[in-house]
Amino acid sequence: MGSARSAVQTAVSIAALAAGALAVALHAQQPPDPAAAAAAAPAPAAAAAAGPGDPGRGKAISYTCLGCHGIVGYKNAYPMYSVPKLEGQNADYLATALHEYRSGDRSHLTMHDQASTLSDQDIADIAAYFAGKPLTPSGRPSGSVPQAASLCTSCHGQDGVAIAPIYPSLAGQHEDYIVRALQEYQKGGRNNPIMKGFAASLKDEDIRAIAGYFSSLSPSLQTESRPYTRFSAQ
């Protein structure tokens, strides 16, 4: 988690990695190369402002986050799509995402407002809490991989579990959220220039195939349990 500040400049997001993998495949028609995919991500700097994430403190300060991410089936109001599942995700990736929302590299008004109040240490702690115990790879293919998603597995794994902590795991993530993330890279809602270039070549059917495949995998990411309140479902 100490690498969060560096990761925000170099790490890639959930959908963009998938998009990039597919774009390369369509352009070059080459087989997946996991080693090359891993090498493409710069190593995080040894020193960073934030210390290791403290999940206990993260739980204490994440009560507003749970207002959306702690409710099973909760959706963003407009445009309507599912908020992402976070439990089991890589903490480094979650920290990267929060930094990007804070800086405006990801465009979402509510997330920007929330992240703008957080220090680097707050982000590290919240990411550690929501990650919980990250998914572990099975090392086994999860059935037949659609052609559109074939190179995505170089970073995200055939079982949907990322090959490195700075990459997001996709197993069981909401299908409509993956679709939305890919579209944001195409239309400028997420501003990583490399990922925008990759996503630009995707067709609608490619996006649907990528999202459909990864969302179907298990064991999957989960919605973090929200502490009981009198307003919770009985």
Question: Can you spell out the DSSP letters for 146-207?
Answer: PGGGTTTHHHH-TTS--SSTTSPP-TT--HHHHHHHHHHHHHTSB--HHHHHHHTT--HHHH
CATH for 124 = 1.10.760.10
pLDDT digit string, tens, across residues 33-74: 544 444 444 444 333 567 899 999 999 999 999 999 999 999
Torsions phi, psi of 95, nearest 5? -65, -40
Q: 223 lies in a domain?
A: no
Strand partners, 136: none
> Average model confidence (pLDDT) for the chain?
80
**Residue 222's pLDDT is what?**
96
Tell me which of 197 and 104 has the higher pLDDT.
Answer: 104
Q: 229 lies in a domain?
A: no
d(CA 110, CA 173): 21
Q: 233 lies in a domain?
A: no
User: Across residues 101-106, what is the average pLDDT?
Assistant: 95
**Residue 226's pLDDT is what?**
67
Q: 175 lies in a domain?
A: yes
Q: 91 lies in a domain?
A: yes
Q: 199 lies in a domain?
A: yes
Let me know the angle formed at the C-alpha of 21 by 38 and 27, rounded to the nearest 5 degrees: 125
Domain count, the chain: 1
Contact criterion met (CB below 8 Å) for 151 and 201? no
Q: 96 lies in a domain?
A: yes
Q: 202 lies in a domain?
A: yes
Tokens of residue 157, six digits: 């794994």
Half-sphere exposure for 211 (CA within 13 Å, toward CB): 22
Residue 141: is its pLDDT beyond 90?
Answer: no
Q: Which domain holds residue 87?
A: 4-42+49-215
DSSP 33-54: -HHHHHHHSPPPPS--SS-S--
28 contacts: CB under 8 Å, gap ≥ 6: none
pLDDT band at 14 (very low <50, low <70, confident <90, very high): very low
